[in-house]
Amino acid sequence: MPIDDLTALGQKMREARKNKELTQQELSDLSHVSVKQIANIEKGKMNPSYLILRALAKVHIFYGNLKISLISESRRRLMIYIRKKLIE
């Protein structure tokens, strides 16, 4: 893949991850792709394999529908508390 395409892919992946309010660590935990690989893809430094792209795509496609079930109840409560404090 040409360098410009890798950069564009990385930017789109970072944008999609942030839109879903996921950290690289959370995306890693959900996709079983290492944080280092995710970071390198987002920086345009790595040409991801089909298997890596498929694992990441599954998280992005299904995460919105399964958001609450994938995050532990205590984590969800903490996120709600933090969001409320930010709004106040």
Question: What is the per-residue pLDDT across 19-34, written as a single tens digit (0 to 9) for each?
Answer: 888 899 989 998 999 9
Q: pLDDT class for 86, splitting at 50, 70, 90?
A: confident
**Are 27 and 38 a contacting pair, CB within 8 Å?**
yes
Average predicted confidence (pLDDT) for the chain: 79
Give backbone dihedrals phi and psi of 82, rounded to 5 degrees, phi first.
Answer: -65, -45
Average pLDDT score over residue span 45-49: 91
Q: pLDDT class for 65, splitting at 50, 70, 90?
A: very low
Q: Which residue has the higher pLDDT, 47 or 73?
A: 47
pLDDT at 67 over 80: no
Q: pLDDT class for 88, splitting at 50, 70, 90?
A: low
- 5/21 Cα distance (integer angstroms): 24
Q: Which residue has the higher pLDDT, 20 or 3?
A: 20
